[in-house]
Amino acid sequence: MNISEFAIRKPITAIMVALSVIVLGWISLFRLPLEYLPDVTFPRIYVEVSYPSSSPEEVERQISRPIEEALGSLTNIKSISSSSYSNRSSVRVEFGLDVDMDLVGVQVRDRLDQVRNLLPDDVERIAVRRINLEDFPILEFSVSWAGSDPDELANVFSQVISPRLQRLEGVGSVEIQGLAEKALFVEVDQNRLNAHGLDIRRLNNAIRNNNRNTSAGFVRDGGRRIAVRAIGEFQRVDEIRQLPLDDDIVVQDVADVSYDYPEKEWFERLDGRESVTLEIQKSSKANMVTTAALVNAELDAIVEEIGADRLKLQLIRDRSTAVTDGIRNLSQSAILGGFLAVGVIFLFLRNYRSTVIVGAAIPGSVLTVFLIMYSFRHFAEATITLNLISMMGLMVAIGMLVDPAVVALENIYRKRYERGMSAIDAAIEGAREIGLPVVAGSLTTICVFVPMIFITDSRSSMFMRDFAITVVISVLASLVVALTIVPLAASRAFGRSGEGRAESITKQVIGFIGLSVISYAVYSTGVRESATWLWEGALWVLAGFADLEWTAWTGLAIALLTPLALFFRFRSYGLRGFYERVISGTLRYRWTTVAVACTIMACGFQVYGLIEKSPYRYQPTRRVDFSVEHPRNWDTADLLELFLKVEEMLIPMKEELDIKAVSSRKSRGSRFSTSVSTRLTLYLVDAEQGQWTTDEVKKKVSALLPQDIPGVRFKSGRRRGSSGVGVGVEIKGRNQEILNMIAEDVELNMQGISGVHDVESSLETGNEEIRVTIDRQRAQRLGLSPRSIATTVATALGTRGNSKFKTDDGEIDITVQLKEEDRATLDQLMNSQFESDRGELVSFSSLANFDYEKGPNTIRRDDRMSTVTIFANTEESARYRAGTQMTRRMNSVPIPRGYSWQMDRSFRWMQQEQNEGNFTMLFAALLIYIIMASLFESYVHPFTIMFTIGFAFIGVAVGLYSFNVTMDSNASYGLLILFGIVVNNGIVFVDHINRYRSQGYPRYRAIVEGGKDRLRPILMTATTTILGLIPLVLPMIYGQAEGWGRRWGPIGLVVISGLFASTILTLILLPTVYSLMDDLSGWIRRTVATARTANAKPAS
């Protein structure tokens, strides 16, 4: 007794198990955590060191290199790179995917402790950080305040916003970036200092040395051991003012002490007002969607209490909306895909009971998926969650959930109403007959994801494992439902003989119209967006782009689709006769058929070669970014003046351009990015509310931005191709001068490549700087060291902190510096006074020479070798082609011995992803062959079915080329899914032919009868899969598609186009291929038998 017969013979047991699964699945749905992306920890460590008042050369020599050497001996390192900037160093170490990052973090900190004594004493901090998706904030806001006093916004944040948000359940941390912090400034008057015969170094040392608490040891008192501490820290600001410097001189005699904000080096503005960034991070176990909703509600209440005219919040990023959008899209696709699948079943079988059975299989399978996901998480300690990736897997699987049920139900239906068997016998025999091919078909779909689950050395595998697991679970769930619940329901539903054909035409038409009305009701009550895409996609073409209201669309849909139902009613058996004539013709002219097929496939592969490759598809969102290039001698005030002009132009045009908010900023990065950025960001209204697409707004604003300011250029997107649309070449070597010469040649070569623009080099010249060369002999005679002189100059310019001063709100910096008017020019710096060991004041100009020079802005090293990167932007559709041309160009560029080149990291990742994708497909093809060879007990017939994969490539090529879609990573996943789907039709077809032949049918009749019998289930399963994926694809083709559809649409497009072509060509060409392969198999058997006979005769 197989599983199907058990379910039919034990209906109450089967029903109870099914109800239990449904209930538990419903419970599991609400207990699965909702996340933005899978819990992924990137195998990278970043070490960042702050070293004020230093040049890139100093940072590279004194900090970056020692840290590289210290970390370079760690095990399982894939690459180590460093970037040395003015005032800071950033070292990046990438490891293999199988390392324990917690252990690596401990080892890195241990190595840094060992190398700490080799670094400069005045290094301020060494930060070690890892990147985990859980560490990213779930909400980011730009916050602006109407008042001009920064203290007001600081008080609002510290006393209102932060405490109230921290109290909310699920909130882990609340941080504000860009809020200025006050400091204690000791501003020295150079004239007064000179008049008293002092230099700034003595004042600086006096404050530092007198602002310390020191442990003095321990004493015993009455048997007790008591610690002794000398308290020297300043308790009041007035203590600093009265600090003695000489016999009758105190600090306030030569300096002014004030509590104020430092000079602005960075700024952030929102709609013409100064702003800061508010970041909210959830706690580790919290639900992202619930936490985000609580935070948004609380912030709305705070804004209402304070007043929207005073406090303004602009949402920058809300990761929870991606999750809720994913759930909404999944539910829409499930509902629409389900209704479409139900409609297909009704059109083909014209039986209400069959329609209800298949319709029930969809929610039953989905709830089973949720139960299995929760069980894996709870009992197997898996990390799978409901996130964008796993929900995408479920969305893709929606179209395949009914396939096993359709095949099983159709076979039962045929045996019941066309062969006259009893309902129970038809259910048992029908399920038994298709059991093996359905299982094999499901296994072929599953096996294409096995490499994705178990191959762990891929960047994409970190994310897409949840996708693969979800699809595998979905297919298994649908298989179990098809082999148990469907036969059980059919055995009861098909109880009355003749019912399959007894329904009147009028009843069928009324039923179909009812389905259309229900579909419209679903559309109008909650699935409007996807239904809009569906109606537009299907009816724009049919209606000649007529300008009709939605009610008219519905009427037109019924008017157009009802005749389709009548067509299926009257032409079903005529279609079988027509198909019999097609098979007969192809079998009669086999080699002509093969020639035509080869020609079609060759053309398809030719078109496929024209499709551009890309690592991922650009996903436009409702925001526009412009990076700003400006002269290097511009300071913050110059940039602020530029942005003020831009704001004055754009803010009055916000409504006209669909702009919700205008943000401008000069920032030094964040805890997730070390890059300095100067950019203009436009936040747009939602696509449904606006009249322009993101690209249209970008073009309009680009035309409005100033073009006539020398040295200023607004570039859409982030700088240096960080949007992913660009390629670069990295050149490595020891000698920087030789690297520079090679880089200049490469830059000239790149400018001649078609599709490449904005070529630039990482050899960016830094700002002009004054290089001071100390006269060591004279300095030594005066008792001064170069280090003490450099420290004194840094103090005078206010670039290095002195010490800390404790206040009620925490510690603040004490900064000693000359007054602004005493440090504004080079002459004033040269006239600075130094006190020698003999008490004499010596001018700085007598101790050093001063020269103007330009140094590098950044020094980059990869794998402990100096590196120069030449980068160019490209169009999205030309990136791979440009990279290939660039590789050919570089092969002709002479590179000296000891120097090397390679494509930039992102292009190498793209090539690695492509190679891994090819390997995965070959591995999947091997597994598919193994399954089919086991099913048919034949080495040859699996090759017959493998031809369907070639047929699918034709459709994929035409689909991608027609809609100008690149072959990106998501399209590759669609191709992988297609591998497992298209062979299912061939498996069902060939298995049925073999059954007829095993019953004694001649090959020709077996092929014809098998084709006629399997025509309907093949068309039904292909149609349900295609229609189930239509909601995924149409947003990419119609409408603005500003996110979800543009990202995931290529998967659906590849599956739909490939499956459509494969289904048609399989039905036409597979019979011919089967007969030829069968002839080949017979010839091989005869040849082997003849050879054995020939060998046996001499032996006898």
Residue 164 is predicted with a pLDDT of 92
In a 3-state reduction of DSSP, which class is residue 465?
helix
Q: Tell me the average pLDDT across 280-293.
A: 85
Answer with the residue of higher pLDDT: 1063 or 688: 1063
Least confident of 219-223, 534-538, 699-703, 928-932: 534-538
Residue 542 is predicted with a pLDDT of 40
In the 8-state DSSP scheme, what is residue 64? I
Least confident of 160-174, 235-249, 287-301, 961-975: 961-975
- Do the bridges between strand 267-270 and strand 125-132 make them parallel or antiparallel, or are there none, so unpaired? unpaired
Q: Where are the alpha helices (DSSP H) in 402-527?
A: 403-413, 423-447, 450-454, 459-483, 485-493, 499-502, 505-524
In the 8-state DSSP scheme, what is residue 351? -
pLDDT digits (tens, 9 = 90+) for 313-345: 888 888 888 778 767 766 666 676 667 767 777
CB 207, CB 803: distance < 8 Å: yes
CB atoms within 10 A of CB 1087: 10
Q: What is the rounded radius of gyration, in angstroms, for the C-alpha atoms of the chain?
A: 37
pLDDT digits (tens, 9 = 90+) for 1064-1081: 888 888 899 889 888 888
pLDDT digits (tens, 9 = 90+) for 716-774: 754 444 444 678 888 888 887 888 888 888 888 777 777 777 777 776 655 567 777 78
Q: Is the pLDDT of residue 1013 over 80?
A: yes
Residue 530 is predicted with a pLDDT of 41
Burial-class residue 32 by CB neighbours within 10 Å (0-12, 13-18, 19+).
middle
Name every residue whose Cβ is closer than 8 Å to that of residue 84 and which is 6 or more positions away in sequence. 56, 57, 59, 60, 63, 64, 858, 859, 860, 861
Q: Is the pLDDT of residue 23 over 90?
A: yes
Give the tokens for residue 810.
Answer: 């925490």
Residue 93 is predicted with a pLDDT of 92
Query: pTM above the 0.85 mark?
Result: no
In a 3-state reduction of DSSP, which class is residue 958?
helix
Answer with the residue of higher pLDDT: 592 or 686: 592
Answer with the residue of higher pLDDT: 809 or 626: 626
Residue 670 is predicted with a pLDDT of 46
Average pLDDT score, the chain: 78
Q: How far, in whole angstroms, is CA 438 from its chain's centroid?
A: 35
Degrees, nearest 5: CA angle 204-207-211:
145
Residue 67 is predicted with a pLDDT of 92
Give the tokens for residue 198.
Answer: 């002092």
Whole-angstrom distance, CA of residue 167 vs CA of residue 698: 40
Q: In angstroms, what CA-CA distances link 447 with 440, 475, 766, 985, 1052?
A: 10, 11, 55, 16, 19
Answer with the residue of higher pLDDT: 572 or 658: 658
**What percentage of the chain's residues is helix, strand, coil (to nearest 5)?**
60, 20, 25
pLDDT digits (tens, 9 = 90+) for 789-820: 777 777 777 666 667 888 776 788 888 888 88
Sign of CA dihedral 1076, 1082, 1088, 1094: negative
Nearest C-alpha neighbor of 178 from the set 316, 275, 52, 312? 275
Q: Is the pLDDT of residue 544 over 50?
A: no
Residue 1047 is predicted with a pLDDT of 64
Nearest C-alpha neighbor of 614 from the set 1051, 182, 909? 909
Nearest C-alpha neighbor of 1084 from the set 990, 902, 943, 972? 943
In a 3-state reduction of DSSP, which class is residue 81?
strand
The rounded percent of the chain whose pLDDT value lies above 70 is 83
Least confident of 299-303, 350-354, 649-653: 350-354
Residue 455 is predicted with a pLDDT of 61
Model confidence at 614, pLDDT cuts 50, 70, 90, reads: low
Burial-class residue 871 by CB neighbours within 10 Å (0-12, 13-18, 19+).
buried
The rounded percent of the chain whose pLDDT value lies above 90 is 4
Q: Which domains does the chain carry?
A: 1-28+350-502 (1.20.1640.10), 37-133 (3.30.70.1430), 183-217+229-260+767-854 (3.30.2090.10), 622-717 (3.30.70.1430)
Give the H/E segment covering residue 1019: helix 1003-1037
Q: Is the pLDDT of residue 358 over 90?
A: no
Nearest C-alpha neighbor of 684 from the set 1042, 370, 408, 1047? 1042
Residue 520 is predicted with a pLDDT of 46
Give the tokens for residue 714.
Answer: 């607004």
